[in-house]
Amino acid sequence: MLERLQDVPPGIDAVKAIGTVSRDDYAAVIEPLLDDARREGRRIRFLYEFGTEFRSFTPGAGWEDFKVGLGAMRQFEGCAIVSDIGWIREPTRLAGFLMPCPVRVFGAREREEALRWLASLPEGPGVSHHVVPEAGVLVVEVEQPLRVQDFEALGQTADAWLATHDDLPGVVIHAREFPGWENIGSLFRHVRFVRDHHREVRKVALAADSRLADLAPRLAGHFTRAEVRRFGYDELDDAVAWAAGRAGGPPAATG
């Protein structure tokens, strides 16, 4: 069975697997949890605990677990698995990197650490961005590892602009250091964002620490129709002006 737990901080949903978990348990516990979150318009920070009382999943429960992973994981802000069971821990570690939200595995004695980790996750997209209206330039501030939610939000902003404009004149990426992607799902969503929008972007500026300069040629290869130039991290205004077509700048990046 699945038991919904109440001994967790506000903002965290938790369940515990006991004995044999069946498909009916998912219908009785997980589906209402997901419905509540949708109705309240919130994302889920989920703790899934497997204690010593847990024995197995029925085949139907395994299928329901798979369907949740496919259909509902975009509702999740993060997922913590608490278990000492090897056949739970290891497959979760492998599958977690493919999920659109961060997934971490904790031991049974690390339950409090799992709760602290869930509570520490940033709310919503971890990368801030905005469109400079008079310039038609999308400015992206990168400080944390890129997440699926970031590209969902970027896509919505870009699409809203393109709904009333022929193109998006420029994108400026402002980053002291490039923190990478949270997981492979984030990388795939990045690729999809580029694929869906590269034809509408004319210029891409990288306003970054000099250690990131080697990223500019790679960006040029991804945004196949865009001209790419790099600027210093403190030259954000110049980067926005160039991306908007109002000024010159340093030499264009070449591969």
Q: Are 2-120 and 128-243 in the same CATH fold?
A: yes
State yes or no: pLDDT of 186 exceeds 80: no
Task: For 2-120, give the CATH class.
Answer: alpha beta
Give me the pLDDT at residue 235, please.
Answer: 93
Give me the pLDDT at residue 251, please.
Answer: 47
Q: Has this prediction a pTM greater than 0.85? A: no
State yes or no: pLDDT of 10 exceeds 70: yes
* Residue 27's pLDDT band (cuts 50, 70, 90): confident
Give me the pLDDT at residue 255, please.
Answer: 40
Residue spans of the domains in the chain: they are 2-120, 128-243
List pLDDT tens digits, range 113-168.
999 999 988 766 667 788 888 888 999 888 777 777 788 778 888 888 888 888 88
* Residue 254's pLDDT band (cuts 50, 70, 90): very low
List pLDDT tens digits, range 82-118.
999 998 998 887 776 666 677 899 999 999 999 999 9
118-128 in b/e form (b: 16+ CB < 10 A) is beebeeebbbe
* Residue 39's pLDDT band (cuts 50, 70, 90): confident
Give the architecture (CATH level 2) of 128-243.
2-Layer Sandwich (3.30)
Give me the pLDDT at residue 38, please.
Answer: 83
Tokens matching residue 174: 């402002």
List pLDDT tens digits, range 201-252.
888 888 887 565 555 555 555 545 678 888 888 999 999 999 998 644 444 4
Averaged pLDDT for residues 7-35: 91
State yes or no: pLDDT of 49 exceeds 90: yes
What's the whole-number average pLDDT of the chain? Answer: 80
